[in-house]
Amino acid sequence: MPDLSSPASTALPAPPAVESRPWPSSVPVLIAGGGPVGLALSALLARQGIASLVVEADDGYCAGSRAICMSRRSLEILGWVGADQATADKGLPWVGGRSYYRDAEVLHFQMPSEPGERFAPMVNIQQYYLEAFAHQAALACGPLADVRFGARVTAVRQDADGVSVEIETAQGTRQVRSQWLVACDGGRSTVREQLGLRMEGTQYEGRYVIVDIVQKTHRDVERLAWFDPPSNPGSTILMHRQPDDVWRIDYQIRDDENPVDAVKPENVLPRVQSHLDMIGETEPWEPLWISIYNAKCLTLDAYRHGRVLFAGDAAHLVPIFGVRGLNSGLDDAGNLAWKLAWVIKGRADAGLLDSYSTERVHATRQNIAYGAKSTEFMAPPNFAFDLMREATLRLALDEPSVRSLINPRQSAPIAYTGSALNGPSDFGNDCPGAAPGMPAPEARVNGGHLTACFGRVFTLLWFGNGNGDTTPADLTAFAEAHATGLQLRVVVPAGSTLPNGALADTDGHAFARYGAQAGTLYVIRPDGYVLARWRAPQTEQVCAVLAPLLQTPADGARHAS
């Protein structure tokens, strides 16, 4: 596809030059693929004290227009390794979105947000910035994160004890032995091919041309969509603002258009100009990048195959509509990192990794279901869907009740309903938003945000009244006995007496969002999901839930392979 300009002009930090450091003969974890998912995983593992080697075929960060929309959950995960601030500073937070039928607005939504949130619901930022920020976070972890560009995995052979990997470099072929191999090497995964695995699902025929242009604008940062616009009759057009005065423009081509011709500048640029004229964007502009895309709803049936694990696009491909691709990949990394670290350290049986596969396959199937609905509206696969969309858009002109059908259903964290890891709850039907299997809610506390406390170990979150009450002595003793994998945090109402190290519930949102009262206890997983909760906790119940996940290394090492 035509590369009309280089993203290097955006002053992006350049990765280290490909150099000839000695290669290790063995590593605990080898990560194939140095995109955002692989680099974030490396940094998350390093935070757990686990060394990894990242192997990336490209000589630097990605070029062109790839993922651009980052969810709040993704920023939370990046925050655990210190890559959140750079992302938030560079990115453009969404205000909302607008959809148009021809030249009439049929939908206007604002991004949902609650008081006290740490991050915007969605931020636009180019993928190459994310790769740079995740790489910098990994390098900040010191020698535990070893990242090699210009090196390609070419062969994979696994056995009961580990994985032998052949890596092609400019200096020749290298052999590296790893305990575990994580495939983050994208939609054309070499690792997946080496294992003879295929993703199953649906590939849609509708194709979109993706164009990045540079043009100054004063518009709000919104998701903009046009159906059958006068500028390009019969087409669907999406626009997103990005940093550096970049517009990302996606438009659908007709079924009878040749995809090779469709990306030629002489065919693309007049269509872009026509649309810019229609919406009144008159500043001078220049193209950066042109490519073509069609939606896929594909996944592996399992993300663990022996000692090989799959994450990101190597595991699943979901449509761009609803921005679930990279966001789901970062959620893979957040879920996998602590489990892999637990197994390597001997804190848990290797079967814990099966829960990674089960939970993230479940999440993918949910993302695919939402993504398929959005795709079938954005690019109808047949006449029946086209007819339904046309009727919906016409009705939406005068009937607000049908406008929700146009909503693109933005990415949101998936609940791990039915996960084998989910522990007990004595809440009955109260506070379903913080039930086991749900992402732990955010709240402002003195000095920051509650979710910033998560991301490394299990958290016992105990709610006190702040009037001299203390955590039960046996609970404190249990936390102290397992301090390498468990922390105890106390939350009390704002304005009350703060016990040593306690968190003040600044706005009252923590008690409300967790449905808590004095004495309530939550167990939060290292990836920020609720494991169990009790309004009337008994220490033996807590021990029973956590004991299989907090084995001593001597006990766990017997089961780690």
The first and second tokens of residue 198, run together, are 């295929």
Question: Would you state the structure tokens that stand for residue 46, as one six-digit string?
Answer: 């390093």
Q: What is the CATH number of domain 25-93+120-200+297-376?
A: 3.50.50.60
Structure-model confidence comparison of residues 399 and 419, the more confident one: 419
Taking 90 as the threshold, does the pLDDT of residue 4 lie above it? Answer: no
Per-residue pLDDT of 334-372, as tens digits, reads 999 999 999 999 999 999 999 999 999 999 999 888 877
Q: Where are the domains of the chain?
A: 25-93+120-200+297-376, 432-557
How far is it, in rounded angstroms, from Cα 240 to Cα 250?
9
Alpha helices (H) in 55-200, listed in sequence order:
72-79, 84-90, 127-139, 190-194
Alpha-carbon distance of 504 to 493, in angstroms, equals 6
At residue 406, the pLDDT reads 77
Q: Which residues of 97-109 are buried (b: 16+ CB within 10 A; e: fewer)?
A: bbbbbeeeebbeb
Which tens digits make up the pLDDT trace of 129-152? 999 999 999 999 889 999 999 999
Q: How far is CA 285 from the centre of its chain?
A: 32
Task: For residues 246 and 249, give the distance between their C-alpha atoms in angstroms, rounded to a whole number.
Answer: 10
**Amino acid residing at 129:** Y
Yes or no: say if 165 and 156 are a contact pair by the CB < 8 Å rule.
yes
Percent of all residues in the chain with a pLDDT value above 70, rounded to a whole number: 94
Sheet containing 96-101: order of strands:
104-110, 96-101, 222-227, 236-242, 246-252, 200-214, 286-299, 316-317
- Distance from C-alpha of 333 to C-alpha of 312, rounded to nearest angstrom: 8
User: In this structure, are residues 208 and 378 in contact, taking their beta carbons and an 8 Å threshold?
Assistant: no
Q: Which of 124-133, 410-419, 450-459 bottoms out in mean pLDDT, i.e. has the lowest?
A: 410-419
DSSP secondary-structure letter at 439?
Answer: B
Q: How far lies 437's CA from each of 425, 433, 454, 503, 527, in Å? A: 11, 10, 15, 24, 11
Q: How far apart are the first and last CA of the chain?
A: 45
What is the spatial distance between Cα 228 and Cα 396, in angstroms, rounded to a whole number? Answer: 14
Confidence of residue 17 (pLDDT cuts 50, 70, 90): low
Separation between Cα atoms, residue 502 and residue 513, nearest integer Å: 18
Share of the chain above pLDDT 90, in %: 69
pLDDT-derived band at 559, boundaries 50, 70, 90 = very low
CATH of 432-557, one of 3.40.50.300, 3.40.50.1220, 3.40.30.120, 1.10.10.10: 3.40.30.120
CB atoms within 10 A of CB 392: 18
